[in-house]
Amino acid sequence: MRSFDLDSIREGAIDYTPTIESLTIEIDANALNSSASGSCGLHLPHAYLSFSAVTNNVLVYNTTNQTFSFQKDPNPVSNSHNHVPWYDYLIGLGALGAAIIAIVLAAVESGLGDSLSGSKLAGSLSAAPASTVKWVGLDQVRIQNGELNDCLLFHSDVA
């Protein structure tokens, strides 16, 4: 898999860009299970933050708007570990630098938690109306319900 970047996390005047290095997405009943891991550089020579997250995003179909979306996981599992060599603390101006690095680490970890716990990794189909698929000979297909059940299922009336 090729790595890719998530949206940047801004702390103060500096942006930190997390990179996903491993991603697995599977269908589990009515949800997408996402497992991701990666790292985020901290703008010091050898300092970075490694992270991982597992989310479970349930598919919801809105019959009024005829759209699909994935719900945010209320209980994501995530962890992170910072890798800051002692000499990077010295580059960061000693004790003051260590305090600043600690604040930055906490902010980046918090921002990562927000990014990884939502439906961003699972994606969002909310912009894709149910009428995206056109069947030859069926001019009006009104989707009544949609669900994941090891595959994407549509329940509809055909006119």
Is the pTM higher than 0.85? The answer reads no
Residues 8-13: what's their mean pLDDT?
79
pLDDT at 75 > cutoff 70: yes
Does pLDDT of 16 surpass 70?
yes
Q: How far apart are CA 71 and CA 107, in angstroms?
A: 25
Residue 45 pLDDT more than 50?
yes
Element (H, E) at 41: strand 31-41
Between residues 44 and 147, the one the model is more confident about? 44
Q: What pLDDT digit, counting tens, does each position of 94-120 carry?
A: 666 667 667 777 777 777 666 665 545
Number of C-beta neighbours around residue 117 at 10 A:
20
Q: Which residue has the higher pLDDT, 3 or 123?
A: 3
User: What is the pLDDT averaged over residues 56-65?
Assistant: 80
Structural domain spans, the chain: 4-127
Q: What does the longest C-alpha to C-alpha distance in the chain come to?
A: 73
Q: Check pLDDT > 70 for residue 22.
A: yes
User: Which residue from 34, 100, 46, 23 is spatially nearest to 72, judged by alpha carbons?
Assistant: 34
Query: pLDDT tens digits for 123-150?
Result: 544 444 555 556 666 666 667 777 776 6
